[in-house]
Amino acid sequence: MRSVLISTYEMGRQPFGLASAAAWLREAGWSVTSIDAAKDNARLRDATLVSADLIAFHLPMHTATRLAEPIIRKARQLNAGARICAFGLYAPLNAEWLRSLGVDDLLGGEFEAALAAIARKLVAGPKDPPYIRLSSTSRPGPFGPGAQLPRLRFLVPDRTGLPPLSKYATLQMPDGWRRLVGYTEASRGCRHLCRHCPVVPIYNGQFRVVQPDVVLADVAAQVAAGAGHITFGDPDFFNGPTHAMRLVCALHAAHPSMSYDVTIKIEHLLRHRDLLPRLADTGCAFVTSAVESIDDRVLAILEKGHTRADFVEAVALCRGARLTLVPTFVAFHPWLTLESFCELLDAIAGLGLIDHVAPIQLAIRLLVPEGSRLLELDEMRRHVGRFDPATLTYRWSHPDPRVDELHREVTAIVGMRLNANRRAVFSEIRSLARERAGLPPAADRTRPARDRATVPYLNEPWYC
C-alpha cells in the first residue's frame, strides 16, 4: 500500500509532523513518499498522487492550510479512490471546508495513532466511514465534550525523502557564521487558554510530552545530517519545565557545541526565572516569547497571563541570564490606535530590542480563525464580519480606517524586505507611524543601520 505525505509550509523548518507520521505509517507496513512542497515542489508529480492509496496533508498553521487547497483539489481530481486525510491543528478547525475539497478524515492533535489506524483499516478492506476527531469542548465529534487527547508512545521521526537541512532556514549568528538548523518537538499542546491561539480549540488546555529518548534520537539524527542548531517547536517549552530541562541538559551533554532555541511565554519566564541561566549554559541561542501587545487592556482581552510590566521584567531577567529574548507581536488588532502603535515602537526601541524583532512582526495582523475563543467576546464580535472561506478567517476591520491604512503601509514597507536590515526597516516604519499619528520624529533616533543584527536569528521569515 502506498501513501503520500504532503507538507505545504512549516516556517522554513523540516517538518516534524510529516516525519513523525512517516514513521508510524512505515511501521504499519506502508510505503511512504514524504513531500515538502514548500521546498521541493518538483516531487509532487501527478503519477505519485495517482498511485497512492492514502494521501495525507499536514496542516499545522493557517498559511499551510491555504497553500494546501490547490494540491488537495488536484489530488482528489486525479485520484477519486484515494483516502485523503488532513492532520494538524488547522484540520479540524476547517473541517467543513476541507470536506468540500474532498478530504475524508480530519485529525487534530496527537494524530499519529489515528492516522496509522486508518491506514491499517484500509489494508483490511472496505472503506471505513470518514473519521473526524476534535477535542474542543464546544464542538461536536466522537471525542465529545471534555475529551482527553491520547497519550502516544512516539516513534523516532523518519525524515527519509525530505529535502536536506541545507534547504531550510539557517541560524544567522552575529559574527556572520551560519548554522544548519534542525527542528524537533519535545511537547505538543499547551496548558494555557490564550484567546487568540490556534492551539486552544484543539488541545483545550492539555499538553502532551514526546518521550525524551525519541526527542534525543531525533536530534542525533539531525546532528548527523549536519544540524548545528535545533529549534524546539513546542508551543511553550516550559509547560513541563522538568521535562524541558532534562532534555536540554542531555542535549548539551551529547552535543556540547550545539545551540538551540525555544518558545516560552512571559509568565513562565518569570515563574521559572531560576532556570534561565541553565538555558544559557546549555546552548540556548534565543528564546521566542509571544508578547503580542504592551497594552494591558489588550493583554487582558487575549488572556495572555502577563502585563506590560511583566514583559519589561522578563527582558531584564533574560538579559541578566545572558539569554536573547525574541518578542513576537500581534501588532495590528481592533483595539490599536495610531498613537499606541507608536508607543509599541517606542517601547521596542527603549528596551533595546530593535535587533531582536523580525520586521514582519511589526505588520502582523490579528487572525481570527474558526474556533477562536476571541469570538466569545463582544469586544471582538463587534468588529468581525462573516467567515471568509477565501482567507479561512473571520475578516475584521478597524473602527478607525487610518489604522487599517497604516497596516497596509507597514506591510508594504516590510514587503519583500523580510530579511533586510532590521534597524533600517524599523526606522522607516517608526517615521511613517509617527507622521500618520501627527507626532514629531522620535527623539531617540534609531542608531545607524549595521550590516547585521547583533543577535542570532533564523533567516526564514514566517507567517502564522
- Say how many Å lie between the first and final Cα of the chain, rounded: 34
84 binds ligand SF4 (CB under 6 A): no
Return the closest-CA partner of residue 193 out of 208, 184, 179, 203.
203
Find how far residue 109's CA is from the centre of its chain.
14
Per DSSP, which regions of 361-401 are E strands?
384-388, 393-396
The C-alpha cell that represents 404 in the structure block: 487599517
192 binds ligand SF4 (CB under 6 A): yes
Among 115, 152, 287, 290, binds ligand SF4 (CB under 6 A): 290
Q: Residues binding ligand SF4: what is the number (CB under 6 A)? A: 11
Among 22, 23, 200, 294, binds ligand SF4 (CB under 6 A): 200
Among 39, 83, 252, 265, binds ligand SF4 (CB under 6 A): 265
Q: Closest distance between ligand SF4 and the C-beta of residue 238, in Å? A: 10
Q: Closest distance between ligand SF4 and the C-beta of residue 373, in Å? A: 9
Which residues pair with residue 7 across a beta bridge? Answer: 36, 58
CA distance 207 to 13: 22
x/- map, 367-386, ligand SF4, by CB under 6 A: --------------------
Given the complex with ligand SF4, which of 197 and 258 has the nearer CB atom?
A: 197
236 binds ligand SF4 (CB under 6 A): yes
CA distance 89 to 391: 16
CA distance 368 to 333: 10
CA distance 320 to 322: 6
Stretch that binds ligand SF4, among 94-102, 193-201, 390-398, 442-450 (CB under 6 A): 193-201
Amino acid making up residue 364: I
Q: Closest distance between ligand SF4 and the C-beta of residue 298, in Å? A: 14
Given the complex with ligand SF4, which of 103 and 290 has the nearer CB atom?
A: 290
Among 64, 152, 155, 194, binds ligand SF4 (CB under 6 A): 194
Given the complex with ligand SF4, which of 105 and 292 has the nearer CB atom?
A: 292
- Within a 13 Å sphere around the CA of 339, how many CA atoms are in the beta-carbon half? 2
Rg (CA), the chain: 22
CA distance 176 to 166: 17
Among 32, 122, 190, 323, binds ligand SF4 (CB under 6 A): 190
Stretch that binds ligand SF4, among 135-143, 186-194, 361-369, 375-383 (CB under 6 A): 186-194
Given the rule CB under 6 A, which residues bind ligand SF4? Answer: 190, 192-194, 197, 199-200, 235-236, 265, 290
